[in-house]
């Protein structure tokens, strides 16, 4: 064991540093709200539809009546 410490003294320093890094890993926690998400949308939909016909189509419809 003494022979190992003389040849590689940084082994324990690296091992200790890795132990500190592994022990300090951050954790992330996500919590959902107790009540649901409410979206209030005040939307007014107004449609204006215009139908136009050309003169040839009007003449064809009139002749069919």
What are the pLDDT tens digits along the chain (65 aa)? 555 555 565 667 777 776 666 666 677 788 887 888 888 888 888 989 888 889 888 888 888 87
Residue 27 placed within a domain = yes
Is 50 domain-assigned? yes
Classify each residue of 26-42 as buried b or exposed e, where b means 16 or more C-beta atoms within 10 Å of its C-beta. Answer: eeeeeeeeeeeeeeeee
Could you give the number of structural domains in the chain?
1
In a domain, 17, yes or no: yes
38 occurs within a structural domain: yes
Radius of gyration, alpha carbons of the chain: 40
57 lies in a domain? Answer: yes
Domain assignment present for residue 4? The answer is no
pTM of this prediction?
0.24
With respect to residue 25, please indicate whether it lies within any of the assigned structural domains: yes
């Amino acid at each position: 064991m003494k022979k190992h410490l003389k040849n590689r003294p940084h082994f324990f320093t690296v091992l200790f540093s890795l132990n500190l890094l592994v022990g300090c890993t951050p954790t992330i926690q996500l919590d959902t709200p107790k009540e649901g998400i409410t979206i209030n949308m005040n939307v007014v939909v107004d449609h204006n539809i215009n139908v136009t016909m050309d003169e040839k189509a009007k003449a064809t419809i009139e002749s069919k009546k």
